[in-house]
Structure 1
Amino acid sequence: MLHTKIIDTEKAKIQISNAEKFIASSKFGASIFFTGTVRDFNENKKVTGMTYDSHDAMVIKSFKEIYEETEQKLNIKDKAVYIEHVKGYVKLGEMSIIIAVACKHRDQAYVLSRYIIEEIKKRSPIWKKEHYENEDSKWLKGNPINNEKI
């Protein structure tokens, strides 16, 4: 069970309640909610906000591919996954992504959630532009946490 969506920040915001409803099921014993938010400092610069851009169709395709490969790579068959990412300007502290997962067991939920965010960072065509206090801005390079296999 999978839900994926790109949210245009001029029209809507990510709602955790939508993710909660989607993954709710008595057949799952564990749920994990990961949210990414815009933080106020990066590389010794005061950040005032972030603009995200994406190739929407390719992003959704990558989300689906990541979901589909988890059965074989992680051996997690029964699961619910909800992924939404924003496109547009996001203020400090606001969510840019939510990944909600539900599985039978907690270890599966932790592994699945971590795998999904790491693969999105590596593979999904999403770009971010930081805006700084001095009114400068900069498009950032992709930056996965590490190259370890999960």
Structure 2
Amino acid sequence: MLHVKIIDSSIEKIEISKAERFLKSEKFGAVIYFVGVVRDNNENKKVNGITYDAKDSMVIKSFEEIYNETEQKLGIKNKAVFIEHVKGHLKLSEKSILIGVACKHRDEAYRLSRFIIEEIKKRSPIWKKEHYENEDSKWLKGISITT
């Protein structure tokens, strides 16, 4: 079971309650949420916001591929995964990504959650532009993938 979505920050916000409704099941004994939020500094620079850009169809495809790999790579068959990522401008403390996972046991849920966020950071075409206190801004370098 999978839910994936790119959210336009000018229209809506990430809501944990949506993930709770999606993941609720008597089959699962462990539910874990990872929430990424905008922090106020990076590399000794005062950050006052972030703009995310993404190629929506490619991001959705990458999320689906990551989900589909989890059974083979982690051995987790019975699971539910909820992923939403924001596109657009965010202020400090606003949610940029929500990953919710539900599994039979907590060990599976922790491993699954960690795998998903690490793979998203490596593989998904999402770009981040930091806006700084001095009114400068900078697109950050992503993680290079070697194949």
TM bin (shorter chain): over 0.9
TM-score by length of 1: 0.95
Partner of 1:31: 31
- Deviation of 1:9 after TM superposition, in Å, equals 0.3
Who is 2:18 aligned against? 18
State how far apart, in whole Å, the 2-side matches of 1:135 and 1:16 are: 32
Q: Which amino acid aligns with 1:67?
A: Y
One-letter code aligned to 1:54: A
1:8 paired with 2:31, answer no
Deviations 1:95-124 (A, max 9, x none): 000000000000000000000000000000
- The alignment partner of 2:49 has SS state of strand
- Identity in percent: 74
Instruction: Quote the offset at 1:143 in angstroms.
Output: 4.4
Under a length normalisation based on structure 2, what TM-score does the superposition of the two structures give? 0.97
Q: Look up the equivalent residue of 1:30 and give its one-letter code.
A: A
RMSD: 0.9
1:80 match: 80
Unmatched segments (≥5 aa) in structure 2: none
Shift of 1:142: 1.6
Structure 2 SS opposite 1:76: coil
Count of residue correspondences: 144
| Corresponding position: 1:100 with 2:100 | yes
1:34-75 Cα offsets, whole Å, 9 max, x none, are: 000000010111000000000000000000000000011100
Q: Structure 1 residue 120 and structure 2 residue 120: aligned?
A: yes
Task: Tell me whether 1:110 sits opposite 2:110 in the alignment.
Answer: yes
Q: Measure the CA separation in 2 of the matches of 1:54 and 1:61.
A: 12
Question: Deviation per CA, 1:78-98, whole angstroms, max 9, x where unpaired?
Answer: 000000000000000000000
Partner of 1:139: 139
